[in-house]
Amino acid sequence: MTGRPHPRRLALISVHTSPLAQPGTGDAGGLNVYVWQTATRLARRGVEVEIFTRATSSADEPSVQAAPGVTVKHVPAGPFDGLDKRDLPAQLCAFSANVLRAEAAHEPGYYDLIHSHYWLSGQVGWLARDRWGVPLVHTAHTLAAVKNASLAVGDTAEPMLRVIGEQQVVDEADRLIVNTPTEASELVDLYGADASRVDVVVPGADLDRYSPGSKLAARGALGLDADDVLVTFVGRIQPLKAPDVLLRAIAPLIHADTTGRLRLLVVGGPSGNGLGLPDTLIGLAAELGVADRVTFLPPQPADRLAQVYRASDLVSVPSYSESFGLVAVEAQACGTPVLAADVGGLGVAVADGVTGRLVAGHDIETWTGHLADLLADPDRLRAMGTAAGIHAQKFSWDHTTDALLESYDRAVAAHRRAAGRSTGIFGLRRLRPRTRITV
């Protein structure tokens, strides 16, 4: 750590999803977990955190003291219901205005730094940064150009509006935070980011909550059969997360299973392009003739989700794109091996051949083969589970917070150095040169 004092008050912007929302449905997912876990740990280090997120219910209190040192501010912007991420660009003006009004109620210099999450928040953070005269740190979480390069069948490409918006934020942010070195390279190669302004900060897991435990006790708590062989999917039900790939891959193994013990557990709710067809996966299970061996559960609170991981013999993350893959780390922290697509940050999260296996591509027969190979050797699965619990200890939110504070220190120091030379005779901030958008 550096010897400089850390920011005393942080404005954290998460426009489209609140850290108080239940992950696994709607637009709530790993970003929610990231924001909440880092905010609470930053507060424990003495940084006061105020989180600005869009109000989605008339019952939302304008300001909620969510944890010691963490305040969630519900910002009115557009109707409460019926909006998803694709509708929110039209509400950024209203959201930004209300964020600026909130700051205007305080003395100048109230916030020391802004950290925006996802490109919508980056647009707001960019404006607030210039108005407040403080540095902007931005985490994209996902990138349109990367997602569009690996679309699932039937999925919809991210619009040019988002690509342009991401490019603007990349150009303007004082520092950019990414999850892995691969993501850093993507920012530089696809968006022309200045590599010297990019910090790799690996996400973590709540290792106090997600830890190895009794499989039998977990199954008893969830009402699952002690003798079943259980493969589990956890995540939002949408083409990007590819639960259909896992379902199609395991179906032949279920049909071939003469013991009747092999089951698939799907935990999550519809999201994104899956919102219009919430029962598609249930229908697919029936079409494949395995509906009686597939159990669907809604998104689970964290303590119960830990039981889901412990109850499983194997957790699968077949996504087409993942900036990191928190599910993979959480499952391993509970001592469960992971079968994952070799995309994005999953190559960092999973130790291939040691804590699970990484699969290239999404060919169904290939996935079926990997499932069959792993499930045929329970002793190897148990050994992988033991190794997974050890491997996951490298990924803690405390380590993430350490790295975030170092990035914040760099942003504040650079901002102070540039304060004199970055203004002209009219006091206007000089803009960085624009880079060309790659599509």
C-beta atoms surrounding 82 within 10 Å:
8
Tens of pLDDT, residues 383-436: 999 999 999 999 999 999 999 999 999 999 999 888 766 554 334 444 444 444
User: Which residue segments constitute the domains of the chain, with CATH numbers given?
Assistant: 9-204+397-423 (3.40.50.2000), 215-393 (3.40.50.2000)
Q: Is the pLDDT of residue 71 over 60?
A: yes
Residue 272, pLDDT score: 53
**DSSP annotation string for 351-391:** -BTTTEEEESS--HHHHHHHHHHHHT-HHHHHHHHHHHHHH
* Average pLDDT of the chain to the nearest whole number: 90
> What is the Cα–Cα distance from 202 to 204, expressed in whole angstroms?
7
Apex 166 CA angle, 163 and 172, nearest 5: 145
In terms of C-beta density within 10 A (0-12 exposed, 13-18 middle, 19 or more buried), how is residue 211 classed? middle
Report CA 247 to chain centroid distance, whole Å: 23
> What number is the average pLDDT over the span 167-177?
97
Q: Which residues are annotated as a binding site for UDP-N-acetyl-alpha-D-glucosamine?
A: 22-23, 30, 236, 241, 300, 322, 330
Tens of pLDDT, residues 127-170: 999 999 999 999 999 999 998 988 887 788 999 999 999 999 99
Residue 64, pLDDT score: 95
Q: Which residues are annotated as a binding site?
A: 16, 22-23, 27-32, 85, 118, 142, 162, 236, 241, 300, 309-310, 312, 322, 330, 336
Tens of pLDDT, residues 280-321: 899 999 999 999 999 999 999 999 999 999 999 999 999 999
Name residue 427's amino acid: G
Tens of pLDDT, residues 76-85: 998 887 777 7
Q: Which of 39, 75, 34 is nearest to 54 (CA)?
A: 75
Residue 153, pLDDT score: 77
Tens of pLDDT, residues 99-115: 999 888 888 889 999 99
> What is the Cα–Cα distance from 312 to 335, expressed in whole angstroms?
10
> What is the Cα–Cα distance from 103 to 392, expressed in whole angstroms?
39
Q: Which residues are annotated as a binding site for 1D-myo-inositol 3-phosphate?
A: 16, 27-32, 85, 118, 142, 162
> What number is the average pLDDT over the span 219-236?
95
Q: Which residues are annotated as a binding site for Mg(2+)?
A: 309-310, 312, 336
Predicted TM-score (pTM) above 0.85: yes
Whole-angstrom Cα Rg for the chain: 22
> What is the Cα–Cα distance from 2 to 406, expressed in whole angstroms?
7
